[in-house]
Amino acid sequence: MAKVVVDAMAMQRALTRITYEIIERNKGVDDLVILGIKTRGVYLARRIASRLQQLENVTVPVGDLDITPYRDDIEHDAQTEPEVTGANIDFSVEGKKVILVDDVLYTGRTIRAAMSAVMDLGRPKSINLAVLVDRGHRELPIRADFVGKNIPSSQRERIRVSVSEIDDRDAVEIQQA
């Protein structure tokens, strides 16, 4: 039985707050670029960018990072490192303030892979991490700068994020394995 822990309204608000926090933390939007981690992080990244556009009337570049499937709802070998398998970034990250966006922060391995990928592309001024959900159970010393919602979870539970662009609705659900 899945339980909705973040509904559509709350998800909208979380992204709104993250957007404002990005402005607060970065003293504006100069030099900002946003990279969404596939699949759902990409849509969240675009929504943050569109909010920034609405507020500041500035177009912030958005790119995608494709990481090997590394889902926390299937059995996986903790030793296997996720890899970046593609990037759709038509701008330079050199000297930029990069905001990485993902839906769920779990072990931290995906983010580590994403950071390596960004570093391969150039030398950004800074990298910050925004996630919709932080569910705990980190295996690496990584933490998010912007968190939509902390959902302390057991490792047996599954966290499912739906975004209306591809899932027909906005929601975060928690499922007992």
Residue 102 in 3-state DSSP? Answer: strand
Instruction: At 15, list the tokens.
Output: 């992204």
Should residue 17 be labelled a site residue for other proteins when binding is judged by CB under 8 A? yes
- Kindly state the number of chain residues that form the binding site for other proteins, as judged by CB under 8 A: 19
Residues 79-138 that bind other proteins (CB under 8 A): none
Nearest approach in angstroms of CB 56 to other proteins is 8
Instruction: At 14, list the tokens.
Output: 């979380």
One-letter amino acid of 83: E
Should residue 44 be labelled a site residue for other proteins when binding is judged by CB under 8 A? no
Strand order from edge to edge, sheet including 157-162: 2-6, 171-176, 157-162
Nearest approach in angstroms of CB 168 to other proteins is 11
Residue 153 in 3-state DSSP? Answer: coil
Reported as half-sphere exposure (CB side, CA atoms, 13 A), residue 150 has a value of 8
Strand order from edge to edge, sheet including 84-88: 84-88, 62-67, 32-37, 97-105, 126-134, 146-150
| Dihedral sign, Cα of residue 6, residue 146, residue 107, residue 66 | positive
Should residue 46 be labelled a site residue for other proteins when binding is judged by CB under 8 A? no
Nearest approach in angstroms of CB 51 to other proteins is 5
With CB under 8 A as the contact rule, which of the stretches 21-29, 33-41, 76-84, 87-95 interacts with other proteins? Answer: 21-29
Q: Which position among 2, 3, 30, 55 is part of the footprint of other proteins (CB under 8 A)?
A: 55
Quick one: 24 or 83, whose CB is closer to other proteins? 24
With CB under 8 A as the contact rule, which of the stretches 38-46, 47-55, 72-80, 151-159 interacts with other proteins? Answer: 47-55
Nearest approach in angstroms of CB 31 to other proteins is 16
Should residue 28 be labelled a site residue for other proteins when binding is judged by CB under 8 A? yes
Residue 167 in 3-state DSSP? Answer: helix
- With tokens 């700068």, the residue in question is 145
Where do contacts with other proteins occur on this chain (CB under 8 A)?
9-10, 12-14, 16-17, 19-21, 23-24, 27-28, 51, 54-56, 147
